[in-house]
Amino acid sequence: MAENETLDYENVYKKSAKRFMHKEYLLLGGGPINCSDRVLKAISMQTLNPLSVDMHQLMDEIKEMTQYLFQTKNRLTLVSQTSGSGGNETIITNLLDRGDKLVIAIGGTWGERVLDMALRYEYDVLPLTKPAGEVYTLEELENAVKSHKAKLLFVTHGESTGGILQKLEGLGPMCHKYGCLLGVDAVVSIAVDPLFVDRWEIDAVNAGTQKAIGAPPGMCLLTFSPRAEQRMREKKMKPPYYFDMLRQGIYFDCFGDHTRMFHYTFSSNMLSAVREALAQICEEGLLEIWARHKRNVEYFWKRLDEIGYTCFVNKRENRFHGVTGVNVPEGISQRELIKFAKDKYDIEIAPGFGPTLNKAMRLGLMGTNSRPEMADYLIEALKDGFQYLNK
Ligand SMILES: Cc1ncc(COP(=O)(O)O)c(C=O)c1O
């Protein structure tokens, strides 16, 4: 090929002046959820220089609102430009060295993925499992931490694949009794169910931006206790560069040295979206947000019962209040029902995954979508879908 020639491309869009457009759906699955107009407006602002004072102000505001969100005074609290999975990988790689002992309380796919990550980094892992719909007791986790002499216990708070909520109260003090740290995946539970990082003595938490927070996917919010920070400073192996929290903490001015040494280029568009979503959380207040999710999902469960659908997790006390596993009625195809809801009602429902695979659909009423009228609309679609497909 001559130097002034390029590879050509042939596709249907080549001669089209039309922008990429798609339909708007109600995202009532396991997340992401719909972004508010305020968030969508924030993300479309002109991009900022990552070294500018405007960018620093964005970072500072996000940090302060995230401290409120997590109910913590931890100085190492920030947002990271990686999805929820990257946030979990950040926690384990910043707190452990190769060969270190780790207990993972698996409650579904997300815990299994942390196990996959941990094996890649060659940690000495004790994975725990439970039958679907069940959660761990404090005693079970204490026995595991004690017998394995764990340096980290990793727990998923809300499991969007199994629909369960793992209780966290008491785990922090228990871990600390054995010199162990507590890491929590709150990717989907954040701003749905109560979480008190300082009061419950949690050492590391990872929260997704795309679930009840209402920002787009691709970012996560992280916080580390002083104990966790000390572990980072003492450990022998450096974490992966991109996930290095001590480096990123400098950029976010978490340690008060004001150097703001650049770590990598953050998207100001994404940060603006996260900032706006957090502002909406702060305006409503956590107590109201937690109560709203509980109220609306309980109403949804009651209406499900009325139309003859059943929940995947039998015990109500084990159910997560953001995403509900809903059993597919016998004789009905899950795929057809999901397609029906999308085609006729513009609703996106998530199919089963992990523990719920081929058993239950995953229906989420989170963030702006946690409203009684949304529950009613979803119920209407499920009822209509059943009548249409049950022929
Ligand atoms: C509990 C939990 N952890 C981790 C993840 C992974 O997050 P991401 O897909 O943003 O990497 C999810 C995503 O649904 C989740 O619900």
pLDDT at residue 260, as a whole number:
96
- Look at ligand 1, atom 2, and give the residue with the nearest C-alpha: 187
pLDDT at residue 12, as a whole number:
64
Rg of the chain's alpha carbons, rounded to an integer?
22
Span from the CA of 164 to the centroid of ligand 1 (angstroms): 14
Render each residue's pLDDT in the chain as its tens digit; 391 residues.
Answer: 788 888 776 666 666 666 778 899 999 999 999 999 999 999 999 999 999 999 999 999 999 999 999 999 999 999 999 999 999 999 999 999 999 999 999 999 999 999 999 999 999 999 999 999 999 999 999 999 999 999 999 999 999 998 999 999 999 999 999 999 999 999 999 999 999 999 999 999 999 999 999 999 999 999 999 999 999 999 999 999 999 999 999 999 999 999 999 999 999 999 999 999 999 999 999 999 999 999 999 999 999 999 999 999 999 999 999 999 999 999 999 999 999 999 999 999 999 999 999 999 999 999 999 999 999 999 999 999 999 999 8
Span from the CA of 88 to the centroid of ligand 1 (angstroms): 9
Tokens of 16: 């089209």
Indicate which atom in ligand 1 lies nearest the CA of residue 83: 10
pLDDT at residue 162, as a whole number:
87
Closest by CA to 255, choosing from 112, 114, 74, is 74
Span from the CA of 84 to the centroid of ligand 1 (angstroms): 5
- Look at ligand 1, atom 5, and give the residue with the nearest C-alpha: 84
Tokens of 136: 């761990």
Q: Is ligand 1 within 6 A of the CB of residue 160?
A: yes
pLDDT at residue 182, as a whole number:
99
Span from the CA of 331 to the centroid of ligand 1 (angstroms): 31
Establish whether 303 is an annotated binding residue: no
Taken in order 106, 110, 116, 121, is the CA torsion positive or negative?
negative
Q: Please count the other Cβ atoms lying within 10 Å of the Cβ belonging to residue 297.
A: 23
Q: Is ligand 1 within 6 A of the CB of residue 110?
A: yes
pLDDT at residue 15, as a whole number:
61
b/e sequence 79-88, b meaning 16+ C-beta within 10 Å: bbbbbbbbbb
pLDDT at residue 19, as a whole number:
72
Span from the CA of 291 to the centroid of ligand 1 (angstroms): 23
Span from the CA of 184 to the centroid of ligand 1 (angstroms): 12
Indicate which atom in ligand 1 lies nearest the CA of residue 189: 1
Q: Is ligand 1 within 6 A of the CB of residue 85?
A: yes
pLDDT at residue 95, as a whole number:
98
List, in order of start, the domains of the chain with CATH numbers.
26-33+286-389 (3.90.1150.10), 37-283 (3.40.640.10)
Pocket test for ligand 1, best of 110, 193, 210 (most atoms within 8 A of CB): 110
- pTM assigned to the model: 0.96
Q: Is ligand 1 within 6 A of the CB of residue 82?
A: no
Q: State the amino acid at position 287 in one-letter form.
A: L
Q: Is ligand 1 within 6 A of the CB of residue 326?
A: no
Task: Indicate the burial class of 311 (C-beta count within 10 angstroms; 0-12, 13-18, 19 or more).
Answer: buried
Gap between the Cα atoms of 95 and 233, Å rounded: 9
Residues ≥6 apart with Cβ < 8 Å to 235: 95, 96, 97
Span from the CA of 343 to the centroid of ligand 1 (angstroms): 26
Gap between the Cα atoms of 49 and 53, Å rounded: 9
